Structure 1
Amino acid sequence: MKLYFAPGACSLSPHIVAREAGIDLQFTKVDTQTKAMEGGGDFWKVNPKGYVPALEFEPGDVLTEGPAIVQYLGDQRPASGLVAPAGSRERYQQQEMLGYINSELHKTYSPLFSPATPDATREERKAYLQKRYKLIEERLAGRAYLFGDTFTAADAYLFTVTRWAKFVQLDLSGFPNVLAFQERVAARPAVREALKAEGLLV
């Protein structure tokens, strides 16, 4: 399998999950602006949506959308505990959290990366993120990870999008549990391997 990624983008989440699960993937870097791929080729032909991540099983057989990819990867190594068993209540709670991170955090960050976003919109989006992180802060109280002591695919996704805060000047100092979570996840060996492989760890 091949994972198409851009360093530090949301594709870092399935990259982390694959390393946590011990799944050996091939990696192809994508320029998110030009859609050119490392080694040549047009990413539009791989994923008509035009964005990462994309998990290719073979040419023409591709799975997209990060929350779907991390669940697929976790299911390949059920003993890893990265996703709960299909049909269990815990599985749907994890899907609920993946959905929350996707719609309330990830998509709210997106306009903050565009220089064309008006200042008023930028401040409104930051205020919205502050409100949404409040729920995460409360959930992490007394917990190592979102679902207790077990690292899951949802933690990989939360860690990935929360890394963006410093790049968009989002102040998270009022969320000590979130900041401690970020440090805890960043120290995991598999996470450090993923960060290093993407050139994000010096």
Structure 2
Amino acid sequence: MKLFYMPGACSLAPHIVANEAGIDLDLVKVDGASKKTEQNQDFLTTNPNGYVPALVLPDGELMTEASVLVQYLADQKPESGLMPRPGDMARYRAQQWLAFVATELHKTFSPFFKPDTPEATKETNRAHLSKRIAYVDRKLEGRSYLMGDVFTAADAYLWTVLGWAKFVGFDLSPFANVQRFLGTVAARPAVQKALRAEGLA
């Protein structure tokens, strides 16, 4: 399988999950501005939407969207426990967290990376992030990870997105449980391996 990524983007989440599951991926770096791969190929021919992650399966099938890719990769190695089994209520809880990260956090951070975003929009988004991250902080009370003591695909996605806070000047210091979570996840060997591969460590 081939994963198209940009260093530190949401494509880091499936990269981490693949490492956790012991799945080897062919990594293809994409330049966000030119939409060219490091081999100077036009990324838009792979994903016309122009964003990562994009996962090309061995049969040539294309999959996109971080919240879906982390589930797909986890399901390739169900024994990893990265996604609870189908039909288990815990699976729906994990999917609930994936949807929350995608819609309430990922999309709220995104405008900060666009140079033409008005300051008023950024302020509105900061207020929204404060409320949503406070919610996550409460849910992490007494837990190592979102689902308890077991690391799941949802944690990989949450960790990736919250990592953007330092790039946009969003202060996470009021959220002690979130900060502890970030440190715990960062120390995982699979996470460190992904960071090194993307040139981030």
Structure 1 length-normalised TM: 0.97
Which residue identity is paired with 1:39? Answer: Q
- Residue 40 of structure 1 and its aligned partner are, at CA, apart by 2.2
- Structure 1: which 5+ runs fail to align? none
Computed over aligned residues only, the root mean square deviation of the Cα atoms, in angstroms, reads 0.9
In 1, the alpha carbon distance for the partners of 2:68 and 2:172 equals 28
Partner of 1:141: 141
1:37 equivalenced with 2:37 (yes/no): yes
**Identical-residue share of aligned pairs (%):** 56
- Residue 59 of structure 1 and its aligned partner are, at CA, apart by 6.9
1:80 equivalenced with 2:80 (yes/no): yes
Partner of 1:132: 132
Report SS of the residue matched to 1:8.
coil
Partner of 1:116: 116
Contact 1:16 1:191 in 2 (8 A): yes
The superposition leaves residues 96-115 of structure 1 with CA deviations (integer Å, 9 ceiling, x where unpaired) of 11000000000000001122
The superposition leaves residues 6-50 of structure 1 with CA deviations (integer Å, 9 ceiling, x where unpaired) of 000000000000000000110000111111011121111101221
Report SS of the residue matched to 2:184.
helix
How many equivalent residue pairs? 201
In 1, the alpha carbon distance for the partners of 2:60 and 2:170 equals 39
Contact 1:5 1:28 in 2 (8 A): yes
Contact 1:108 1:125 in 2 (8 A): yes
In 1, the alpha carbon distance for the partners of 2:11 and 2:181 equals 20
Contact 1:46 1:60 in 2 (8 A): no
Partner of 1:196: 196
Partner of 2:6: 6
Kindly report structure 1 stretches of 4+ aligned residues shifted beyond 2 Å. none
- Structure 2: which 5+ runs fail to align? none
Which residue identity is paired with 1:157? Answer: Y
In 2, the alpha carbon distance for the partners of 1:42 and 1:61 equals 18
Partner of 2:164: 164
1:181 equivalenced with 2:185 (yes/no): no
